Structure 1
Amino acid sequence: MRSKYIETAGLALTFAVHTWYRVFLGLLLVCAACSPKPPDTIPHALVKIQPDQFPDFTDDMSYASLEAAIDQTLDYLSRLDSSTPFCFGPDVFTASHMSKSVRAFRDLIKQGLSADEIRKAIETSFLVYKSVGRDGHGSVLFTGYYEPTLKGSMQRSQGCPYPVYGKPDDLISISLGLFDPRYAGEHIIGRYVDQTIVPYYSREDIDCKKRLREKGCELLWVSDRVDLFFLHIQGSGRVLLEDGTVLFVNYHCNNGRPYRSIGKLLIDEGRISREEMSMQRIRAYMRDHPDEIERVFNHDEKYIFFRLVDNGSTGAIGVPLTPGRSVASDLSIFPKAALAFVQTKKPLVGEDDTIQSWETFGRFVLNQDTGGAIRGPGRIDLFWGSSQYAEIAAGHMKHQGTLYF
């Protein structure tokens, strides 16, 4: 009986291996047929600049928050092999070099120097790189994100009917680089159905057709569907339970579907003008037109799955984000955890929480996160935190600026 069982299991395993091989081979053939030939040379996102091209490095915040963000970067770097490479345009530095450089900068700002003195120290001791931006001339679009607070419950109820889902058991992520080095870093996300891989459920499938209802992957439930949608956009948040307990949820993974902006949809349809577009304006439109919620939200097929964490927002490099100091970028072209300097605009808000004007500012930041809509050398998302000001700034920020590493 034992030998027969082993033989049968071996046949089943062989069948499964060959089945998966055929699936992956098919996927690779599709990718090879549909993907254009990679270009011989790829323009670098960062270019080294000379001291006479440096910004003035005036920082509008306290260095205490900068030190906190630097410590998080150092924690990340300490967990890597010392030879791990980091690319700054055509130049490559090791994790060990990165750590020494960031420590040296932290020691510098502890000396109580003026902005001019810091600039001179950077000129003599650091290399500076500038993003080529969206246009090849350094123009970067800055947006913001924040950590929202939602009302919720650990049990589904009439007051909290909308689930926040964790990662479903049937979600599969396939690394194509394992099968062809040309696709290193590329993944396909889907489900295994009838010996093939199919796309994972869309937002409409999950929220309207309830495809996950009986799978037991609900983490908790929240009271407001619009708030839940924007939790997906922000990627993390706080959930206030009935007894006053605060839980933190953070991005875990997604369904592999493409991100499509509902803001652009509403502009294209003439529902909201481009000039008045903001997160707050979208919220107001959805509350005034509840019959359009499903149609508009389903336009964005991408769906986020969360996990419960002990603290607040955690970035893509696995460290807590620092309000005003952490940024999200395209980590495929910009160095993870690196020190950067940004110049753009921030809102000045009155006592009635309305924006009075926009003010140009400069600030040192750390590249600690990424986002589905943050792609290319001309996009940066600044993390503002969880305050009322953070929500206002994140919801309205859409300004050009410059980025230096």
Structure 2
Amino acid sequence: MASRCARLLWLAACMLVAGCRHPFTPVTRPEDALHELSQPLELRDDGEPAALRAAIAESLVWLNTRPGDQRFIFGKREVTAAELRAALEHLQSRLTDGLTPAELSARVLEDFEPLEAAGGEDGLVLFTGYYEPAIEASLTRTEEYSTPIYGAPKDLIEVPLEPFGDRFKSEKVFGRLDGRKLVPYWSRSEIRGGKLSSQGLELAWAKDPVALFFVEVQGSGTLRLPDGTERRIGYAGSNGRPYRSIGSLLIQEGIIPREAMSMQALRAWLAANGPQCDRVLDYNESYVFFRYLEGSAVGSLGRPVTPGRSIATDSKLFPRGALAFLQTERPVALPDGTVQWQPLSRFVLNQDTGGAIKGAGHVDVFWGRGPEAELAAGLMKQKGRLVFLVPRRTAAQ
């Protein structure tokens, strides 16, 4: 905190003496989240057109459920659901196999124009990753499988606050009734202590509580059952408590250096320090409830997310279901076991959100299943640029 205050004072002095740029103000309104490009950006896509078509198709399915006059805010621009749907449909119809990156970019820019995300304090976006982990579980409780995987509780109440005033737009609170009062829902430690054990909410039982915790963080996962079959689970709600990073806790306590922190380092420390697991996990009071999925992992739109093509952002700032483009780096494992960072630049769809994704300076990229996905999800914390593609006025008309 002291170093941050010193930096702000230094920036203020620069403004007065040398006319430096204004100190950073966190973006809290969607009107301020996007602006004209700060510098040229080549929209060169390094992915497969088929995956892009699949991701666009999921956004279109969701947009077809929206009223045609629903407004989507792209910075200072507003676009209706009908206009966004028409632009994406036209683009999808022209995404053929074999397109070169230059041809793909040209087709996108015929119908869309780029607006850049405001980013964080340095004007850049922090890119992290998430994936669909697999954990050992059983449909019945045993001594080996004893950690419950809960579905959404019957007494969990969701209260949208927007009807109480415009200043509460998109805000919600979650709680439970205590007599006639709405009080915060049970915390992680209270749920672990058995507050839900009498509701019959158990979908299955996990072998490792730490592995289940990371499924909560990712939002979906695969249960590997003792008979060799698998069941997929996805997000069904949360207790409404604020998300707090256990990685940040261990950094603050001096246990893991900031530069060494990753999902892999965090899991290794928890595995080696079993007696401290409950204390560390309970630091994050947020608790996620699950439901069974018939197909692949779904995002906040209620539609499947596409590996490498779906992103999660702050839903209060960026238009849901919209087309975007990112430029950053991703880790790739080499045959000798080392990790190499390679450029990542591609069109993506804004199809998810998350409790840890706050502000205009953080984006989570979905990577799917498997070792490569786990590597990217665990190591990615790279800076880069994000632009959203807003339908051109002529294309929308």
Q: How far off is 1:355 after superposition? A: 4.1
Distance 2:182 2:103 in 1: 58
1:274 aligns with 2:265: no
Distance 1:40 1:173 in 2: 23
Which segment is superposed worse, 154-163 or 56-65?
56-65
Q: Select 2:230's aligned residue among 246, 257, 276.
A: 246
- Secondary structure (helix, strand or coil) at the match of 1:389 reads helix
- Equivalent in the alignment of 2:341: 358
- Equivalent in the alignment of 2:44: 58
- Equivalent in the alignment of 1:118: 104
Distance 1:166 1:41 in 2: 33
Residues 206-237 of structure 1: per-residue CA shift (max 9 Å, x gap): 11x21111121111111111101101110100
CA 1:401–1:42 in 2, change beyond 3 Å: closer, same or farther?
closer
- Equivalent in the alignment of 1:316: 300
- Equivalent in the alignment of 1:265: 249
CA 1:124–1:67 in 2, change beyond 3 Å: closer, same or farther?
closer
1:231 aligns with 2:215: yes
- Equivalent in the alignment of 1:201: 186
Distance 1:179 1:87 in 2: 22
CA 1:307–1:42 in 2, change beyond 3 Å: closer, same or farther?
closer
Q: How far off is 1:184 after superposition? A: 2.9
CA 1:153–1:331 in 2, change beyond 3 Å: closer, same or farther?
same
Distance 2:98 2:271 in 1: 49
- Equivalent in the alignment of 1:11: none
Matches within 5 A, 1:167-178: 167-178=152-163
1:154 aligns with 2:107: no
Q: Report if the CA contact (8 A) 1:140-1:402 is conserved.
A: yes
Distance 1:202 1:226 in 2: 17
- Equivalent in the alignment of 1:300: 284
CA 1:313–1:75 in 2, change beyond 3 Å: closer, same or farther?
same
Residues 144-182 of structure 1: per-residue CA shift (max 9 Å, x gap): 000001111111111110011111111111222223333
Distance 2:269 2:129 in 1: 20
- Equivalent in the alignment of 1:69: 55
**Structure 2 regions of 5+ residues with no counterpart?**
1-26, 389-397
- Secondary structure (helix, strand or coil) at the match of 1:275 reads helix
- Secondary structure (helix, strand or coil) at the match of 2:278 reads helix
Residues 341-385 of structure 1: per-residue CA shift (max 9 Å, x gap): 100101120236x44221122011110000101011111000000
Distance 2:79 2:145 in 1: 50
Distance 2:28 2:41 in 1: 33
Matches within 5 A, 1:41-120: 44-49=32-37, 53-110=39-96, 112-120=98-106
Using the size of structure 2 for normalisation, the TM-score is: 0.87
- Equivalent in the alignment of 2:9: none
Using the size of structure 1 for normalisation, the TM-score is: 0.85
Residues 96-121 of structure 1: per-residue CA shift (max 9 Å, x gap): 11111112222333174422333344
Q: Percent identity?
A: 41
CA 1:173–1:124 in 2, change beyond 3 Å: closer, same or farther?
closer
Which segment is superposed worse, 54-63 or 315-324?
54-63
RMSD (Å) for aligned C-alpha atoms: 1.9
Q: Report if the CA contact (8 A) 1:45-1:333 is conserved.
A: yes
Q: Report if the CA contact (8 A) 1:56-1:115 is conserved.
A: no
CA 1:331–1:40 in 2, change beyond 3 Å: closer, same or farther?
closer
Larger-Rg structure: 1
1:191 aligns with 2:168: no
- Secondary structure (helix, strand or coil) at the match of 1:117 reads helix
Q: Report if the CA contact (8 A) 1:327-1:383 is conserved.
A: yes
| Residue identity matched to 1:276 | A
| Residue identity matched to 2:36 | K
Distance 1:341 1:171 in 2: 37
CA 1:105–1:135 in 2, change beyond 3 Å: closer, same or farther?
farther
- Equivalent in the alignment of 1:25: none
1:285 aligns with 2:273: no
Residues 39-61 of structure 1: per-residue CA shift (max 9 Å, x gap): 998751011349xx552222222
Q: Select 2:151's aligned residue among 166, 172, 196.
A: 166
Aligned residues, how many? 362
Q: How far off is 1:201 after superposition? A: 0.7
- Equivalent in the alignment of 1:9: none
Residues 123-152 of structure 1: per-residue CA shift (max 9 Å, x gap): 444211110111263x00000000001111
- Equivalent in the alignment of 2:119: 133
CA 1:40–1:171 in 2, change beyond 3 Å: closer, same or farther?
closer
- Secondary structure (helix, strand or coil) at the match of 1:109 reads coil
**Structure 1 regions of 5+ residues with no counterpart?**
1-38
Q: Report if the CA contact (8 A) 2:132-2:222 is conserved.
A: yes
- Secondary structure (helix, strand or coil) at the match of 1:127 reads strand
- Secondary structure (helix, strand or coil) at the match of 2:221 reads strand
- Secondary structure (helix, strand or coil) at the match of 2:148 reads strand
Distance 2:274 2:29 in 1: 49
Q: How far off is 1:265 after superposition? A: 0.5
- Equivalent in the alignment of 1:216: 200
Q: Report if the CA contact (8 A) 1:237-1:312 is conserved.
A: no
